[in-house]
Structure 1
Amino acid sequence: MTAATLSPLPEDKQALVTRLAEGLDTPALHWLSGYFAGVAVQRQGGGKSAAIEPAAATDTQTRLTVLYGSQTGNAKRIAEDLGRRATAAGLAVRIVRADAYVTRELKQERLLYVVISTQGDAEPPDDARAFVEFLSSSRAPKLDELHYAVLGLGDSSYPQFCAIGRQVDERLAALGGARLFSAGEADVDLESVSQPWLEHALQQAREQLKTATPLAKVTPLRTARNTPTWHREQPFAAPLLLNQRITGRDSDRDVRHLELSLEGSGLRYAPGDALGVWPTQAAALVEAILATTKLNGDAPVQAGGEERSLRLWLAERRELTQLTRPFFAAHAERSGDAALRALLEPVSRDALSERFSHWQVIDLLRRHPADWTPESLVAALRPLAPRLYSIASSQSVVGDEVHLTLSHVDYALDGEARWGAASRYLAHRAEGETVPVFIEANERFHLPADERDIIMIGPGTGVAPFRAFVQERAERGASGRNWLLFGNPHFHSDFLYQTEWQQALKNSQLHRIDLAFSRDQAEKIYVQHRLREQGRDLYEWLDSGAHLYVCGDATRMAKDVHKTLIDIVAEHSARTAEDAETWLNQLIQQGRYARDVY
C-alpha cells in the first residue's frame, strides 16, 4: 500500500506535500508534523491562522523542546527517537540541535529535555559549545518556570565520564529549573541507560503537558529515504578486498589502507561519514582472562535474556581492551584493595587517567587479584561497542566500495603484547573474509554545498576523510580551492597517500599542501607550527568564506590546533584573543569550522 492510498489528500495536494518533505531531515519533518497538527487544532477551534502562529512550534506552555549536542551522532539519534515517541503520543514537540537553538528562548521554555555527549577531556561536542558557554555565563536567565531532564552520553574509559551532561544538569538547577528526574549517564552501550530514560522522559512529558490541547493524529508521509536494510543493530557482512600497509618497513607505525565491498548492500555514504565496524576479541586475550580469573570458558551465562558460554560472551559481546570506571570500581570492591579504591577519589584523577591510558582489563585482573563468577564478570564488563572510522573514499569515485585508513594499535606493556580490539581485528583480516559494517552519517562534517574553498587539517590517520573530500571535489569538478595540512613523524616512511597527493597537485585537484614531519629535524614540528607560519594566508581564506576541517586526535592535536587558530585570528584581524575565539565559535555555529576528533 502506498502513501498516496493512505492519504486523504487530493492527488495534487499529495504531490505538493511529498515535494515539501523531500530532502528534509528528521527534525524538520517533526516540526512540519507539529505545524500541520496545530493548523488542524486551530481550525477546529476557530482560532487565528496557524500560518502565523503554529501552536506546536511557538506555544512553550504546551510544547516539549528536545535539545541535543552530538559529536558522533548518538545524541542526535536518541533525540530523534524521543521526538518520534512524543509525536506518536500526540504531544507537540520540536527537536533542535544546540547550535541552532536561539538562546533568548530559554527563559520562555517550560519543558526542556537535553541530550548531550561529552568528548575528550570533559569537553562539549562542537555543536553545543556555544550553548554550554551561554548556560555557564552570567547572561543565562533565571529559569524558575522550567521543568527539565538531562541525558548525558559518554565513555567511562575516560575519568570525567559524562561531565558535560552533569554540568548542564547542575547549571539548569542552579538557574531555578525544576529537575523532573535524575540525569541519565549512558556509556557507549547506550541502550541500557537511554531506553529507560526515554520511557521515563515520555511519561513525564505526558504528565507535564496533560492540560495541553491534544494535537490531531498525524499519519507520517513516506519519503524517499527509507530506513536502510543494514544498520548498527544489523550490520552488513562486507568482503575485504584489500588490506595493505602504507607506512614504510622502518616506520614504528603500522598504518593500513583497507578496501571493502558494499556490493548488494544498498548502503550509501557521503564524504565525511564514518564506517561502523563490529569487532570480536582476539582468542589469545580471551584465554588469558579465563586463565587469570580461573573461570571455565564453557560455563553457560545468562545475561539480557540471552544464554551463551562465558568464552563467547568475552569474545563477541564484552569490552576487554578498554578499562572503564564502573568495572574498575567493581573490581576494587571485590579485591578489597585500598590502593585501588583510593584511585577512584577525585584527588587521584590524574593517576587514574594514567592507569586507563596504559592498562587493559587483563592488567587490572593480574595486578590486583579478585574472585569473580562467570555471571558477575559478564555483568560488570562493559558491552562491546562498534568502532567508527572516518571513510577515506568518495562513493561517486569508488562505487560499491568503502575505504579506510587504519592505525593498528599494537604495543608492549611490561614485555607483553597489547593491542586495540578493532584495529587488531581489522589488521588481521585476510582478503576475502567479511567484516560486519554499517554507515554512520556525520552531517556536520560534510563538504559545503557550494563551491567554497576548504582547508583540511589531518595529521596521521586524520587525513582519511580528506582523501574522500579531494576525490569528491575532483569528480564533480568543484571550483573551490583545496588546501591540505598533513603531519606525521617521518617523510620517507609516514607520508600517507604521498603519490595520490602529488598527482592531485599536478592535476590541480589539490591546490596547496603544507607538511609537518615532526621527527625529521632536531626541533619537533607539528601541523600547528605550519598553521602559524601560514597564518596570514589561512586567515584570508577563512575571512573570504572558506570552510575549515580538523580530523584526528582530540586530546592534544585538536586542542593545540584550536589554540593556534585563536592566535592566528587575533594576530591577523586585530582582535583580542577573546574576540578571536568568539569569531571561531561563530564559524562552528555556521558549520564552517568542523571537527571529527577522537
Structure 2
Amino acid sequence: MQNTVVSTEKRTAPAVYSRTNPFQARVLKNINLNGESSAKETRHIEISLEGSGLTYAPGYALGIAPSNDPQLVSAILEEMNWDGENAVIINKQGDTMPLKEALTAYFEITLLSKKILQQAAEFTENEELQKLILVENADQLKEYTNGRDLLDMLRDFGPWNASAQDVISVLRKMTPRLYSIASSIAAHPNEVHLTIGAVRYTAHGRERKGVCSVQVAERIQEGDTLPVFVQPNKHFHLPESGDKDIIMVGPGTGIAPFRSFIEELAVTNASGKSWLFFGDQHEATDFLYKEELEAYQKDGVLTKIDTAWSRDTEKKVYVQNKMLENSKELFEWIQNGAYFYVCGDKQRMAKDVHSALIDVIEKEGAMSREDAEAYLNDMQKQGRYQRDVY
C-alpha cells in the first residue's frame, strides 16, 4: 500500500525544467510575419508552457535545444560512408547514442574552430590541413573556419584515417539557442511567444542555414514540440515603477522584447509614456506586428512610433537617423528620467544607436563629446540605458 503512495507522489511531483532538463513544449502557432515579396522570413511562434511550472518576466529569453538539418546529417554520413545506426560514445560518462541521432541532436556540426581543425589534423595526412594549422598561418586558419562546417572539413582534407568515433570526439556539444521573449505572461497565461528571423545565406559554394531558426521556419509545425527553458536576464527589464517613461529601439527581430514590454504596460495600466523606434527593409512587407502596434498607439499604451525603412528610399534610412531627427524631444524625455532600451544586432545597429545617442546628448545638452559620454555612462549605472544585443 505504501509503495503505491510513493509512486503517486513521484508522478505528481513538479519537475524542475532547466537548460540541462528542458521542457517539451507544444507549438501552438507558427506564422511568417513578412509579406510575400519580402527578402526576409520572420516567424512568430506561440508555445504552450502548460504543465511546466515555467514563468518569466519581460526581458527574459527562452532557450531552445535545437536539432541539426537532417539533409546536412545525411550528407556527412554519405561523405564518410558511415552507418548512422552504429552506436557512438558521446561524452566522458560513456553514454552512447546511434551516430545519426548524435549528429542530429547532440553535436554542433555547423561551426568549426581552431581546436577542431588541430585535433582533426591527427586523423589525416592531408598536407593542406597540416599547413593550415601551423602557428604562422593563424589568420588563414581563422578565415577557413569562418562560415564553414563539418561537411566542408571532411570534404576538403581527406582521405581520413578515422572512425566516426574519432571524428565526433573532436566536436563540441550543441549549445541551446537563446531568443528574447516576445510576450507578457500576464497577457498570455501559460504561453510564451518568440520572434525568430530565419538565417539563410550562401558561402563557399553552399547554401547555409541557421540551425535553430531554419528548424523552426521549415520543420516545426503547429502541434510539434520543442525542448525549451527560461533564461532570466537581470540586465534588461522594465522600470520597477510604471510611471517611468521608456524609449525602445528595436529594428527587425529586435522588436521581440518590446512586444513583451508593451503587452505588460497594457496589462498593468502603466502611466509612463512609451516611444518605439522600429525599422526594417520595406514598410509594405517588413513592418512586424504593425496592426498590434498601431492598436496600442490608438489605445494610448504606446505614445509614439517612429519607423525607418532602409530600402524604400534612395537614401537608406535607419533607426539611428530617426533618433537624430527627433533629437530635441528625445533629449527632453531622457532629461525627464526616461529609460532607454536597445535590442538587436550587436555588430552594426547597436553601435550606430549608441553613437547617435551620444550625438543627441552632446547637441541638445550643449555638452562636449566627453561629457555626453559620461552622461550616458551615468544613465547606464542607474540602469536607465539597457541593451539586449546579439
Tell me the TM-score normalized by structure 1. 0.59
Q: Deviations over 1:110-160 (max 9, x none)?
A: xxxxxxxxxxxxxxxxxxxxxxxxxxxxxxxxxxxxxxxxxxxxxxxxxxx
Partners of 2:245 and 2:276 in 1: how far apart?
11
Q: Deviations over 1:174-202 (max 9, x none)?
A: xxxxxxxxxxxxxxxxxxxxxxxxxxxxx
Change (3 A) 1:514 1:328: farther
1:434 partnered with 2:222: no
Q: What letter is aligned with 1:420?
A: G
What is the Cα deviation at residue 247 of structure 1?
0.2
Q: Is the Cα contact below 8 Å between 1:410 and 1:418 reproduced in 2?
A: yes
What is the Cα deviation at residue 575 of structure 1?
2.2
What is the Cα deviation at residue 373 of structure 1?
2.5
Question: Which of structure 1's runs of 4+ aligned residues deviate more than 6 A?
Answer: none
SS of 1:321 mapped into structure 2? coil
What is the Cα deviation at residue 270 of structure 1?
0.5
Show the 5 A alignment for 1:241-280: 241-280=28-67
The percent of aligned pairs where both chains have the same amino acid is 43
Match of 1:381 among 171, 177, 189: 171
Match of 2:101 among 294, 312, 325: 312
Partners of 1:552 and 1:237 in 2: how far apart?
27
What is the Cα deviation at residue 534 of structure 1?
1.4
Change (3 A) 1:330 1:336: farther
SS of 2:187 mapped into structure 1? helix
Q: Is the Cα contact below 8 Å between 1:228 and 1:267 reproduced in 2?
A: no
Match of 1:326 among 115, 129, 134: 115
- Structure 1, 515-524 or 301-310: larger mean CA deviation: 301-310
Q: What letter is aligned with 1:319?
A: E
SS of 1:445 mapped into structure 2? coil
1:516 partnered with 2:305: no
Aligned to 1:481: 273
1:363 partnered with 2:152: yes
Change (3 A) 1:578 1:332: farther
Aligned to 1:555: 347
Q: Is the Cα contact below 8 Å between 1:258 and 1:403 reproduced in 2?
A: yes
Aligned to 1:230: 17
Change (3 A) 1:228 1:584: farther
Root-mean-square deviation (Å): 2.0
Q: Is the Cα contact below 8 Å between 2:200 and 2:208 reproduced in 1?
A: yes
- Structure 1, 262-271 or 308-317: larger mean CA deviation: 308-317
Partners of 2:121 and 2:348 in 1: how far apart?
30
Q: What letter is aligned with 2:227?
A: P
Q: Is the Cα contact below 8 Å between 1:397 and 1:475 reproduced in 2?
A: yes
SS of 1:475 mapped into structure 2? helix
- Structure 1, 358-367 or 564-573: larger mean CA deviation: 358-367
Partners of 1:528 and 1:354 in 2: how far apart?
31
1:505 partnered with 2:293: no
Q: What letter is aligned with 1:384?
A: M
What is the Cα deviation at residue 378 of structure 1?
1.5
What is the Cα deviation at residue 525 of structure 1?
1.2
Q: Is the Cα contact below 8 Å between 1:550 and 1:558 reproduced in 2?
A: yes
Change (3 A) 1:579 1:353: farther
SS of 2:74 mapped into structure 1? helix
SS of 2:101 mapped into structure 1? helix
Aligned to 1:285: 72
SS of 2:40 mapped into structure 1? coil
Partners of 1:553 and 1:331 in 2: how far apart?
33
Partners of 2:75 and 2:68 in 1: how far apart?
12
Aligned to 1:456: 248
Aligned to 2:236: 445
Higher relative contact order (CA 8 A, sep 6+): 2
Q: What letter is aligned with 1:465?
A: P
What is the Cα deviation at residue 523 of structure 1?
1.1
Change (3 A) 1:570 1:232: same
Partners of 2:142 and 2:111 in 1: how far apart?
12
Show the 5 A alignment for 1:178-257: 229-257=16-44
Change (3 A) 1:417 1:256: same
Change (3 A) 1:279 1:571: same
Partners of 2:143 and 2:376 in 1: how far apart?
32
Tell me the TM-score normalized by structure 2. 0.89
Partners of 1:368 and 1:230 in 2: how far apart?
41
**Which protein has the larger Cα radius of gyration, Structure 1 or Structure 2?**
1
What is the Cα deviation at residue 388 of structure 1?
0.5
Runs of 5+ in structure 2 lacking a partner? 1-13
SS of 1:435 mapped into structure 2? strand
1:294 partnered with 2:74: no
Q: Is the Cα contact below 8 Å between 1:282 and 1:315 reproduced in 2?
A: yes
What is the Cα deviation at residue 563 of structure 1?
1.5
What is the Cα deviation at residue 532 of structure 1?
1.4
Q: What letter is aligned with 2:70?
A: A
Q: What letter is aligned with 1:424?
A: V
Partners of 1:571 and 1:384 in 2: how far apart?
47
Q: Is the Cα contact below 8 Å between 1:239 and 1:260 reproduced in 2?
A: yes
Partners of 1:344 and 1:478 in 2: how far apart?
59
SS of 1:244 mapped into structure 2? strand
Aligned length, in residue pairs: 369
